[in-house]
């Protein structure tokens, strides 16, 4: 992509509406814009990050044997009445009527819809286990939408649902998803902790949250100094007693985190009231034993910024950066610089590397500032050193700088995992 003509409306100053750093930087870097409270447009840069996170999620979900579907955003009230949630979900559920005065809602989650789909289309134990997922826009009319993509009203979620014949099957599907979640957050380059959680409104049995460690996190986590135990402090009272029950030697400490993923063992909480049953080997009709598994896609991107930034802007992990490499010719009226820049640009893009070239007729300082703010991990500056046959490579968030021949940029170690022959 060339910067001239690319929609990146960067802002010099912090917008007053933003409280946390990820929100500030997404606005300042030209990633998102607000339409209404908790409702955002994704600009080209923001959408590229969302798609990178989604691709990581898709790959791991597919590898774990889950099948992708896309369910409707608009859901009929009848399904919610069958589980009783039409009455208990409260104001977060945005309700509406169609022209025939029938009740509908905008889906805040999809347990009812998926359970309905499976009860109508799957009937035998032979079809189990079945794991279905989607990446889709949810709507929750949050009282206090805030922090940009972190707590929106309209937001993109990956939601996944497993259907098994019994508890043992559910445990297997759950473990598979737990592993896929670890792979996903590892691949996103995040530091996180898996904690035991309160199942909340979705309900059911055992549940765990994936918490990205960050000071600005809305949740408090207790973790053991000695063993792997960690839990939401909503579940345990650490003021009274901070000794670890799991290992007896450890003490519990606290830190803050951002909930990016949540996995639940639901059991028959939805399948039983909805009479979603399959024919067992014994000939009996039995409700599916279900699990559900969510990831906030936009929140994951925001959490990555909370964890990776400095005074100059975002420092994206390469895995989810909108572009891997920034190519910056210092002076666009120097034909040699532009020729070298174009050559690097086409060689990298031809090999699957995502490159943003700043071909604008701006002062070098302005261009460097924008690239730092946007947070592209690798920057290639084409300036004076070109007369010695070199360009300068630097790595966002480090002091490392090196002079490299233009033809060797493609061989940079950090780019190896992303090279794809086209
Ligand atoms: N208002 C929101 N804005 C952005 N992401 C959200 C929002 N609510 C939930 N998410 C994301 O979706 C995931 C699954 O949601 P879920 O656990 O059902 O919601 P909650 O934790 O609010 O009960 C969460 O782990 C989080 O990453
Ligand atoms: Mg949750
Ligand atoms: Zn312990």
Task: Tell me the per-residue pLDDT of 49-58, one tens digit each, with 9 for 90 and over.
Answer: 999 999 999 9
**pLDDT score, position 5:** 92
Do residue 345 and residue 413 come from a single domain? Answer: yes
* Nearest to 43, CA basis, from 51, 32, 52: 32
**pLDDT score, position 242:** 87
User: Residues lining ligand 1, judged by CB closer than 6 Å?
Assistant: 109, 140, 142, 151-152, 155, 157, 200, 202, 259-262, 294-296, 298-299
Which residues span the domain enclosing 395?
323-418
Q: What is the pLDDT of residues 301-342, one digit of tens each?
A: 999 999 999 999 999 999 999 999 999 999 999 999 999 999
Q: How far apart are the two ends of the chain, measured CA to CA in Å?
A: 17
Q: How large is the average pLDDT for residues 71-79? A: 98
Do residue 144 and residue 267 come from a single domain? Answer: yes
Residue 221 in this model has a pLDDT that exceeds 60 = yes
Residue 273 in this model has a pLDDT that exceeds 80 = yes
Do residue 49 and residue 156 come from a single domain? Answer: yes
1 near 15, Cβ under 8 Å?
no
Do residue 303 and residue 336 come from a single domain? Answer: no
CATH number for 134: 3.30.930.10
Last residue of a domain, one of 310, 331, 365: 310
Do residue 410 and residue 387 come from a single domain? Answer: yes
Question: Alpha-carbon torsion 341, 346, 351, 354, what sign?
Answer: positive
Q: Is there a cis peptide before residue 120, judged by omega within 30 degrees of 0?
A: no
The residue contributing the CA closest to ligand 1 atom 7 is 151
Residue 85 in domain? yes
Residue 412 in domain? yes
Q: Is there a cis peptide before residue 274, judged by omega within 30 degrees of 0?
A: no
Residue 147 in this model has a pLDDT that exceeds 60 = yes
**pLDDT score, position 201:** 54
Residue 136 in domain? yes
CA of 209 to the centre of ligand 2 (A): 7
Question: Which residue is associated with the tokens 């794809």?
Answer: 420
User: Quick one: angle between helices 44-63 and 297-307, nearest 10?
Assistant: 110
Residue 10 in domain? no
Residue 360 in domain? yes
Do residue 47 and residue 190 come from a single domain? Answer: yes
Q: List residues, by chain if needed, whose CB lies under 5 Å from ion ligand 3.
A: 224, 226-227, 229, 244, 246-247, 250
Residue 67 binned pLDDT confidence (cut-offs 50, 70, 90): very high
Question: Alpha-carbon torsion 267, 269, 271, 277, what sign?
Answer: positive
Number of independent structural domains in the chain: 2
Residue 2 in domain? no
The Cα–Cα gap between 380 and 403 comes to: 9
Q: Counting atoms of ligand 1 from 1, which one is nearest the CA of 264?
A: 17
Do residue 235 and residue 96 come from a single domain? Answer: yes
Do residue 70 and residue 163 come from a single domain? Answer: yes
CB neighbours of residue 147 within 10 Å: 22
* Nearest to 42, CA basis, from 260, 326, 301: 301
The residue contributing the CA closest to ligand 1 atom 1 is 151
Do residue 234 and residue 281 come from a single domain? Answer: yes
Residue 121 in domain? yes
Residue 204 binned pLDDT confidence (cut-offs 50, 70, 90): low
Closest ligand (CA of 210): 1
Predicted TM-score of the model (pTM): 0.96
303 near 19, Cβ under 8 Å?
no
């Amino acid at each position: 992509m060339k910067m001239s003509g690319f929609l990146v409306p960067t802002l010099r100053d912090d917008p007053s509406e933003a409280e946390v750093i990820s929100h500030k930087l997404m606005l300042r870097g030209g990633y998102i814009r607000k339409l209404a409270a908790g409702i955002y447009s994704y600009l080209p840069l923001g959408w590229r990050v969302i798609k990178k996170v989604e691709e990581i999620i898709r790959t791991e979900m597919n590898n774990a044997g889950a099948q992708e579907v896309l369910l409707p955003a608009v859901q009929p009230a009848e399904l919610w009445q069958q589980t009783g949630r039409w009455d208990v979900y409260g104001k977060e559920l945005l309700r509406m009527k169609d022209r025939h005065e029938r009740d509908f809602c905008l889906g805040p989650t999809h347990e009812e819809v998926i359970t309905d789909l499976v009860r109508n289309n799957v009937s035998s134990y032979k079809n189990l286990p079945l794991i279905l997922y989607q990446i889709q826009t949810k709507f929750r009319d949050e009282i206090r939408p805030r922090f940009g993509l972190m707590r929106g009203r309209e937001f993109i979620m990956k939601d996944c649902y497993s259907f098994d014949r019994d508890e043992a099957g559910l445990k297997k599907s759950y473990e598979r998803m737990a592993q896929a979640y670890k792979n996903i957050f590892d691949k996103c380059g995040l530091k996180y902790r898996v904690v035991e959680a309160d199942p909340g409104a979705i309900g059911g049995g055992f549940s765990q949250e994936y918490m990205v460690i960050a000071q600005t996190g809305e949740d408090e986590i207790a973790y053991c100094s000695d063993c792997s135990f960690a839990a939401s402090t909503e579940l345990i009272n650490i003021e009274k007693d901070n000794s670890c029950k799991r290992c007896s030697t450890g003490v519990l400490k606290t830190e803050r985190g951002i909930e990016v993923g949540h996995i639940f063992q639901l059991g028959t909480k939805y399948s039983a009231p909805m009479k979603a049953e399959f024919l067992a080997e014994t000939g009996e009709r039995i409700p599916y034993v279900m699990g559900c598994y969510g990831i906030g896609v936009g929140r994951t991107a925001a959490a990555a910024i909370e964890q990776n930034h400095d005074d100059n802007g975002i420092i994206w992990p390469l895995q989810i950066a909108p572009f891997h490499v920034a190519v910056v010719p210092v002076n666009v009226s120097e034909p040699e610089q532009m020729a070298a820049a174009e050559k690097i640009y086409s060689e990298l893009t031809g090999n699957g590397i995502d490159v943003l070239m700043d071909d604008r007729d701006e002062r070098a300082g302005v261009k460097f500032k924008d690239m730092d703010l946007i947070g592209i991990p690798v920057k290639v500056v084409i300036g004076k050193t070109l007369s010695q046959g070199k360009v300068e490579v630097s790595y966002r968030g480090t002091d490392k700088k090196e002079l490299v021949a233009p033809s060797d940029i493609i061989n940079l170690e950090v780019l190896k995992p992303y090279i794809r022959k086209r």
